[in-house]
Chains A and B, each alone.
Chain A
Amino acid sequence: MRRLAAAALGAFASLAAVADEIPQAERRSGFDAMSAETRAMQVDDTANPGLLWVQDGADLWTRAPASGRPACAGCHGEAATLRGVAARYPAFDEASGAAIDLQGRINHCRREHQGDPPYGHESRELLALSAYLGFQSRGLPIAPPRDPRLDPARAQGAALFRERIGQLGLSCAACHDDNHGRRLGAATIPQGHPTGYPLYRLEWQGLGSVQRRLRNCMTGMRAEPFAYGSAEFVALERYLMDRAAPLPIETPAVRP
């Protein structure tokens, strides 16, 4: 009954959420629960397959788009100047008056400043560029911006995290707040911190975004996944990054 009331009153749900949140000192990356072999694969840059996407991203960074307008580097210079950006996204986007995630920002630049059509979700190019940008922040603590204009997205994300959905009537919180560390079949349930996206998932045999991972979970809950790039996903990303801080960025992480 209480959960339904909370779901019906989103604002109250987000208030209740704070009380259940994992305390900062107890936040753990999924990295910690991985086997020694998988951890070794992530930390060794010659073994981490995600580094191949990072290299592709570095190429794209300096390559002029088909429109003939400047490459990313033409405006931003060295990508290293964007160190810290991935640790604070999603951010508030003045143009749309809403939260925007890093992939949305890359595509916004591409459309507005490079005059080229946006990259498709989960395309090699978008994953490569976002991996390259995330890589610039590797090791930095996640640092949520204190922009109050992001509060609606935070509240929406917190409410979505706790909302029971799908045929099985499960929520993100039911597993990742209440049952992390336990086993769901072969998997140890992680706390669910998006510290390393885009990341190389062995199950995917490829790199994928946090939205792809969230869609996997929603399908498992027998729910209709949110659309790629939807406001719901950006809100969830904002909340998840708040919930993960100050864990360090691991992009490109490796996960089972």
Chain B
Amino acid sequence: MRRTGPHETAGKATRLVLTAGCLLAVDASFAGATDTRRPPIAIVGDAIPAPLTDTPGDPARGRAIVADRTRGLCLLCHAGPIPEERFQGDLGPDLSGAGSRHTAGQLRLRLVDGRALNPDTIMPSYHRVDPSPRVGAAWRGKPVLEAQEIEDVVAYLATLRDDTREGPAR
């Protein structure tokens, strides 16, 4: 879905401008944008092609984040090929085959800010500081996952091909 740029929302509420702004190249609400040593997070089409960090993502760490219900929270809403975790949710698509359906860049944008693609999605934006009010004190000003954690999860999801029911990294 194409989103409108900030020039089309000028004059509306600040939150709207911020929301639209993040969908272009840079926005302060992206957690990575505070790191001035790195280039800003760039969305190209429906993807973020460039990794957020210099350290390649680790699929094993990514799998652990996905499985952790207090960290990645993923299995609350998604089923996935992580058989030792019972009680997986079904609000979102099954993560099996995610690496066949999407490129790493597409997975990255869906994790960093899926609401850039679909503002009504229930999927939280994992690596932007959500503009919603009443953020709990423990979470204020923080993204759900840090940049390296995003890279780890992207690396794990990329291993989930349609021809593998079980992700390789345990």
Instruction: Give the B-binding residues of A (Cβ under 8 A).
Output: 1-5, 8, 163-170, 174-175, 178-179, 182-186, 189, 218-219, 222-224
Instruction: Give the A-binding residues of B (Cβ under 8 A).
Output: 4, 9, 12-13, 15-16, 19-20, 69, 73, 75-77, 86-91, 115, 119-120, 122, 124-125, 130-140, 142, 144
Instruction: Establish whether residues B16 and A4, one from each chain, have CB atoms under 8 Å apart when the complex forms.
Output: yes
Given the known interface contacts A182-B89, A184-B91, the answer about A166 and B119 at a Cβ–Cβ threshold of 8 Å is no
- Other than the given A5-B16, A222-B136, 20 more pairs (CB < 8 A) read A1-B4, A1-B9, A1-B119, A3-B119, A4-B119, A5-B12, A163-B132, A165-B135, A166-B135, A167-B124, A167-B132, A167-B135, A169-B124, A183-B87, A184-B76, A185-B88, A186-B86, A189-B91, A218-B134, A224-B135
Instruction: Establish whether residues B115 and A166, one from each chain, have CB atoms under 8 Å apart when the complex forms.
Output: no
Instruction: Establish whether residues B139 and A166, one from each chain, have CB atoms under 8 Å apart when the complex forms.
Output: yes
The distance in angstroms between the C-alpha atoms of A222 and B138, with both chains bound, is 8
Given the known interface contacts A169-B115, A185-B87, the answer about A179 and B122 at a Cβ–Cβ threshold of 8 Å is yes
Measured between beta carbons, the chain B residues less than 8 angstroms from A4 are 13, 15-16, 19, 119
> Quick one: which of A8, A163, A183, A219 has the most chain B CB within 10 A?
A183
> Quick one: which of B73, B86, B132 has the most chain A CB within 10 A?
B132
In-complex Cβ contact of B122 among A167, A174, A223 (8 A): A174
Measured between beta carbons, the chain B residues less than 8 angstroms from A1 are 4, 9, 16, 19-20, 119
Residue of A nearest to B16 (CB): A4
Instruction: Establish whether residues A222 and B139, one from each chain, have CB atoms under 8 Å apart when the complex forms.
Output: yes
Instruction: Establish whether residues B133 and A222, one from each chain, have CB atoms under 8 Å apart when the complex forms.
Output: no
Measured between beta carbons, the chain A residues less than 8 angstroms from B15 are 4, 8
The distance in angstroms between the C-alpha atoms of A167 and B119, with both chains bound, is 16
Measured between beta carbons, the chain B residues less than 8 angstroms from A2 are 119-120
The distance in angstroms between the C-alpha atoms of A182 and B94, with both chains bound, is 13
Cβ distance B21 to chain A, nearest Cβ, rounded Å? 12
Residue of A nearest to B12 (CB): A5
Cβ distance A9 to chain B, nearest Cβ, rounded Å? 9
The distance in angstroms between the C-alpha atoms of A111 and B60, with both chains bound, is 60
Instruction: Establish whether residues B90 and A164, one from each chain, have CB atoms under 8 Å apart when the complex forms.
Output: no
Measured between beta carbons, the chain B residues less than 8 angstroms from A163 are 132-133
Instruction: Establish whether residues A224 and B137, one from each chain, have CB atoms under 8 Å apart when the complex forms.
Output: yes
The distance in angstroms between the C-alpha atoms of A225 and B120, with both chains bound, is 23
The distance in angstroms between the C-alpha atoms of A1 and B138, with both chains bound, is 27
In-complex Cβ contact of A165 among B75, B91, B119, B132 (8 A): B132
Instruction: Establish whether residues A224 and B136, one from each chain, have CB atoms under 8 Å apart when the complex forms.
Output: yes
Cβ distance B155 to chain A, nearest Cβ, rounded Å? 23
Measured between beta carbons, the chain B residues less than 8 angstroms from A164 are 130, 132
27 pairs, CB–CB < 8 Å, chain A vs chain B: A1-B9, A1-B16, A1-B19, A1-B20, A2-B120, A4-B19, A4-B119, A5-B12, A8-B13, A163-B133, A164-B132, A166-B132, A166-B134, A166-B135, A167-B132, A168-B130, A169-B130, A169-B132, A170-B124, A183-B88, A184-B89, A184-B91, A186-B87, A189-B91, A218-B134, A222-B139, A224-B136
Instruction: Establish whether residues B130 and A166, one from each chain, have CB atoms under 8 Å apart when the complex forms.
Output: yes
Instruction: Establish whether residues A184 and B135, one from each chain, have CB atoms under 8 Å apart when the complex forms.
Output: no
Measured between beta carbons, the chain A residues less than 8 angstroms from B138 are 222
Instruction: Establish whether residues A167 and B19, one from each chain, have CB atoms under 8 Å apart when the complex forms.
Output: no
The distance in angstroms between the C-alpha atoms of A8 and B133, with both chains bound, is 11
Cβ distance A236 to chain B, nearest Cβ, rounded Å? 13
In-complex Cβ contact of A167 among B4, B9, B90, B139 (8 A): B139
